[in-house]
Structure 1
Amino acid sequence: MRPLLLALAGFLWVALPAVTQAQPGVRITVADFLQAIEQHPDISAHAEGIESIKSEIDIARILPDPSLTFGNVSGDISGMNMPQQLYLGIDYTVETGRKRQHRVQLASAQVRLAEAEHTVFVNEFKRDALLLFQHCWMLEQQIQEDLKYKQEILSLNVPDSTARLKQQLLLLENQLLLDVAQDDLKESLEELNDMVKHVYGAQPVLPAMWVWSFEKYTSAQASRYDRVQVSKASADVVHQEILLMAANRVPDISVSLGNNFVGRATNPEAPSPRYNAITATVSVPLKFSNWHGAERKREELKKASARQQELEAVGVVEDQLDETQDDIADLSTTFTQLNKLIALQERFVSQLPPTQSREKLEELTLLHGYRHQRWEIFDNISKRKADLFVLTGALPRDPSVLAGSQN
């Protein structure tokens, strides 16, 4: 397969200068493009949400604030000159059941979930961007092949009117395809440049290479399933929520400490001088309700459901991974066969004598159809490898799958 790939790459790179002249701009590699995408404002804005969630950890560490109590606890309105009692004190709630610790653990779990979701968001963003990058590159090559096919048809000296009519029909059909491809390329390049304008500004950019290689993507490269990390983080959030709910069922202790300012009583039957009295109380709630037993059962069911969803997510991702890799293997086999078929067809066309222009016209049309089939397979391989990228996040961590390095 490698000689065919090298031959294909050699032809495509020879064809690039003509496209460069038609679409002036700077050629950027996949690595350059990825670096620009990683700085995209949408990714930065999404990451800022994680910082907001991280602030919840600091909030979770906050202890309850004390309360200042002030008032008249015994005001005489009878006219009997009984003493007035003013109270000034501090009330404080002592949390029990490790509530603060569980609040912090829940906030930390929510941060890990946000980070896992951000990783998937970035992978999906890069997937779409890389597919656009590869689509632009592929359209350039298709246009070059269509232009080459047009020149090959025009170069034929057909002997009769029927063959000339066939020649004109093929040229018209090819021109229609060229117009569609050129319009698609123009719109795709505009979208591509819009994605990297925060780095390259008004300077037009063009893809310099393909993104994904043609060979099978092995499971050994799938070192990590980012989608599974989201499920695991989500299950951990549920677990921490349940622990916090259990801690909240533990009654807190309220402590009060204050001073009673007792005024002077002038009642002749019970006169008394002014004095201060220290007040200290502890309040412990008594729980007699059986409602919490039902709450615990509900929490256990919720925990079991989250665990089941996590296990199912692992199975789903592994099935998707196997299915995608099988698809890539089948597509790669078809791609290899098409390359061989195209190479043989090109040799056959080149050996036809000029006098057999009618036969050569038919064979060139057949060859052009094989080339279009090859690009269709190439596009499908790209999409399936993009799916693998989202499942595993392996592309940025494994540069060897990038074109231009080892295949």
Structure 2
Amino acid sequence: MIRYIIIQFVFVTVGFTHTAYAQTLDTLLPTVPMDYTTFISTVGQKNIAYAAEQFEIAIADAAIESAKIFPDPQLAFGWFDNGQRRMDMGYGFTSELTWTLELGGKRKARVDLARNQAQLTRHLLEDYFRNLRADATLAYLSAIQQRMLLEVLNNSYQQVKQLAAADIVRYKLGVISQVDARQSKLEAGTLLNDVYAAEAQYATAIAALSLLTADSEQAIEPVGDFSSFDRELNLPDLLVTALNNRADLKAALQQKHVSASVLKLAKANRAIDLDLSIGASYASYARNIIAPTPSFNTINTGVAIPLKFSNNKPGELRTANYARQQADHLFRQIELEIQTEVTQAFYSYQSAKKQVRQFNTGLLTEARAILDGKIYSYQRGETSLLEVLDAQRTYNEVQQSYYQALYGYAESLIALERASGTWDINIQ
């Protein structure tokens, strides 16, 4: 009875050590707690890659202004000298202003094309943020998962460390053999290595969050768990929503408009353009004794009409027509891909939900009860150390599988909402 009381005292003493270690572990990394809402808002505001993509909007708007420009006029000056100094043939000056008059609606077609391309750029940027938001959320959840796995291993290490410390006392009291004492100490050391590896994985996951927020001065510690991912969803409604909301489908539809604008511009380019000109010239007095001529001024206007022999080779027009047909096929293909993607994501989510519910039926509680029972029996000398360690490993595996199932559950919901073009994720 005295030996049993001493062993229980050792377990309690080491339990205080576990609490102190856990508190120290939390402060190993220079982290700053950040909730999910703040994190995703920071990603939208500070992510460098997203900021770079936003310049595409400004570039597209500038292209609209460029498309509105009329052709520049040309101003020419000339001077001539008849070259007959001995015969006093005189000299003169010429000037001419020319301007190209575009016909066939070329300018309007250019502007329409630039505006459609700008709208396409906006849809592509929206789709970029859709994927960025989902990827950032997965990174945030991955960090939460790594934190939970670290806690599992740390708790297991502390428990086995406590067991090893008690086994030293039991060995000295002659209750167990030296081999059992060494075995529990070895198991504690092995688990400590696992804790170190989990710490590295957690730190790596946190570093990924800093990359997304473009913050190199502090590390972000995620706040929350996996308790807010239960949804009751309907596949037909999700399919309709996806076809209405997906930014990449909007972009594919806009690409059809762009292709139509390109075809319209190609047709307009086949129309002739007129070069209008107006000029003036001055010729000085010619004092030639044979044919003296007074100085005079002349004014001339003209129209130049190009001969569009290139219209016999409609390569540009055929290329634009094929591109329009290609855009139609790509739009239908993306529609089918979205429907397939939503369907697959829906069934994956339903499967993940069933897996989580299976754990919630009592697997964790049962594994914990078995471990506690084995430890109690071991303290009383009724079971072997190997049975305790085996129960500990089983409990660890169940916990790790549970957290992986929770992450898979959340991941499948994010994939489903990414596919359907909806978003109501809120990690608490």
Q: TM-score surpassing 0.5?
A: yes
Worse-matched range after superposition: 221-230 or 46-55:
221-230
> Aligned partners of 1:313, 1:272: CA distance in 2, in Å?
79
Q: Which amino acid aligns with 1:59?
A: S
Indicate the residue corresponding to 2:155 in structure 1. Answer: 148
Question: How does the TM-score come out when normalised to structure 2?
Answer: 0.76
Q: Which amino acid aligns with 1:306?
A: A
1:207 CA displacement? 0.8
- The structure-2 alpha-carbon separation of the partners of 1:226 and 1:217, relative to structure 1 and needing over 3 Å to count, comes to farther
Indicate the residue corresponding to 2:230 in structure 1. Answer: 215
> Aligned partners of 2:252, 2:337: CA distance in 1, in Å?
11
> Aligned partners of 1:17, 1:336: CA distance in 2, in Å?
32
Instruction: Find out whether 1:39 has 2:45 as its counterpart.
Output: yes
Tell me, yes or no, if the aligned pair for 1:88 and 1:258 is still in contact at 8 Å.
yes
Matches for 1:60-71 after TM superposition, within 5 Å = 60-71=67-78
> Aligned partners of 2:227, 2:56: CA distance in 1, in Å?
31
**Percent of aligned positions with the same letter in both sequences?**
19
Matches for 1:41-56 after TM superposition, within 5 Å = 41-42=47-48, 43-56=50-63
Matches for 1:112-261 after TM superposition, within 5 Å = 112-153=119-160, 161=177, 167-168=184-185, 170-193=187-210, 195-196=212-213, 198=215, 202-210=217-225, 213-216=228-231, 218=233, 220=238, 222=242, 224-261=245-282
For residues 182-215 of structure 1, the C-alpha deviation after alignment (integer angstroms, 9 at most, x for no partner) is: 11112332443454464xx745431111478443
> Aligned partners of 2:227, 2:412: CA distance in 1, in Å?
10
**Equivalent of residue 26 in structure 1, options 22, 32, 36:** 32
Partner of 2:360, secondary structure, is helix
**Equivalent of residue 354 in structure 1, options 359, 370, 376:** 376
Indicate the residue corresponding to 1:403 in structure 2. Answer: 427
Worse-matched range after superposition: 30-39 or 162-171:
162-171
1:344 CA displacement? 3.6
Partner of 1:86, secondary structure, is strand
> Aligned partners of 2:270, 2:227: CA distance in 1, in Å?
55
Q: Which amino acid aligns with 2:406?
A: F
**Equivalent of residue 353 in structure 2, options 312, 332, 338:** 332
- The structure-2 alpha-carbon separation of the partners of 1:173 and 1:327, relative to structure 1 and needing over 3 Å to count, comes to farther
Indicate the residue corresponding to 2:16 in structure 1. Answer: none
Indicate the residue corresponding to 2:402 in structure 1. Answer: 374
1:282 CA displacement? 1.4
Question: How does the TM-score come out when normalised to structure 1?
Answer: 0.80
> Aligned partners of 1:229, 1:19: CA distance in 2, in Å?
48
Q: Which amino acid aligns with 2:230?
A: E
Q: Which amino acid aligns with 2:116?
A: A
Instruction: Find out whether 1:345 has 2:367 as its counterpart.
Output: yes
Matches for 1:296-315 after TM superposition, within 5 Å = 296-315=317-336
> Aligned partners of 1:137, 1:375: CA distance in 2, in Å?
10
Tell me, yes or no, if the aligned pair for 2:229 and 2:413 is still in contact at 8 Å.
no
Partner of 1:32, secondary structure, is helix
1:181 CA displacement? 0.5
Tell me, yes or no, if the aligned pair for 1:339 and 1:374 is still in contact at 8 Å.
no
1:63 CA displacement? 0.8
Tell me, yes or no, if the aligned pair for 1:68 and 1:91 is still in contact at 8 Å.
yes
Matches for 1:259-338 after TM superposition, within 5 Å = 259-289=280-310, 291-338=312-359
Partner of 2:96, secondary structure, is strand
Worse-matched range after superposition: 314-323 or 55-64:
314-323
Aligned residue pairs total 384
Report the RMSD for the aligned CA atoms in angstroms: 3.4
Q: Which amino acid aligns with 2:427?
A: A
Tell me, yes or no, if the aligned pair for 1:211 and 1:402 is still in contact at 8 Å.
no
Q: Which amino acid aligns with 1:135?
A: S
> Aligned partners of 1:119, 1:17: CA distance in 2, in Å?
43
- The structure-2 alpha-carbon separation of the partners of 1:126 and 1:294, relative to structure 1 and needing over 3 Å to count, comes to closer
- The structure-2 alpha-carbon separation of the partners of 1:22 and 1:271, relative to structure 1 and needing over 3 Å to count, comes to closer
Indicate the residue corresponding to 1:6 in structure 2. Answer: none
Larger Rg: 2
> Aligned partners of 1:384, 1:75: CA distance in 2, in Å?
88
For residues 23-46 of structure 1, the C-alpha deviation after alignment (integer angstroms, 9 at most, x for no partner) is: 564321100111211122512233
- The structure-2 alpha-carbon separation of the partners of 1:93 and 1:212, relative to structure 1 and needing over 3 Å to count, comes to farther
5+ long unaligned stretches in structure 2: 1-21, 168-174
1:61 CA displacement? 1.0
| Shift >6 Å, 4+ stretches | none
Worse-matched range after superposition: 243-252 or 263-272:
263-272
Q: Which amino acid aligns with 2:222?
A: P
1:129 CA displacement? 3.0
1:217 CA displacement? 7.6
> Aligned partners of 1:122, 1:217: CA distance in 2, in Å?
26
1:353 CA displacement? 8.5
- The structure-2 alpha-carbon separation of the partners of 1:211 and 1:284, relative to structure 1 and needing over 3 Å to count, comes to farther
Indicate the residue corresponding to 1:4 in structure 2. Answer: none
- The structure-2 alpha-carbon separation of the partners of 1:309 and 1:239, relative to structure 1 and needing over 3 Å to count, comes to same
> Aligned partners of 2:150, 2:252: CA distance in 1, in Å?
44
> Aligned partners of 2:324, 2:227: CA distance in 1, in Å?
41
For residues 295-348 of structure 1, the C-alpha deviation after alignment (integer angstroms, 9 at most, x for no partner) is: 433321121112212221222222122212221221221122123222343355
Tell me, yes or no, if the aligned pair for 2:90 and 2:283 is still in contact at 8 Å.
yes
> Aligned partners of 2:351, 2:103: CA distance in 1, in Å?
61
Partner of 1:39, secondary structure, is helix
Instruction: Find out whether 1:109 has 2:116 as its counterpart.
Output: yes
